[in-house]
Amino acid sequence: MELFVADYNGHRLTARDVSDRANIPPTVLSRWLIHLTEIGFIVGDGDGNLDDLLTLSGKALDSIEAVMSKANELREAVS
C-alpha cells in the first residue's frame, strides 16, 4: 500500500523507505521484493536491493484497484 499511495501522489520510494515506514526488517523485505518481482508486481531487476527505487507494475496497480473496488462494493452493501 505504501507504494500504491506514493505512486498515486507521484512519488517514488526505495525499498529502504518502505522498510522504515512499515517497520519491516530489511532482510524480510528484500526476500519479498525478489518474490514480487518474480510474479510481476514490482518492476526491477529482482535482486532485492533496498536502495533501488521501486515501481509497481500495471498488473500490481490493477490488482490493488480491483481489491479496493470490491471492498467499496462490500462496504456499500452493508451500509
Percent of the chain scoring above 90 in pLDDT: 59
What pLDDT does 48 receive?
74
What pLDDT does 50 receive?
85
What pLDDT does 45 receive?
67
What pLDDT does 72 receive?
95
Average of per-residue pLDDT values in the chain: 90
3-state secondary structure the chain: CHHHHHHHCCCCEEHHHHHHHHCCCHHHHHHHHHHHHHCCCEECCCCCCCCCEEEECHHHHHHHHHHHHHHHHHHHHHC
Q: Examine the pLDDT at 66 and tell me if it is beyond 90.
A: yes
Average pLDDT over residues 3-30: 91
What pLDDT does 68 receive?
93
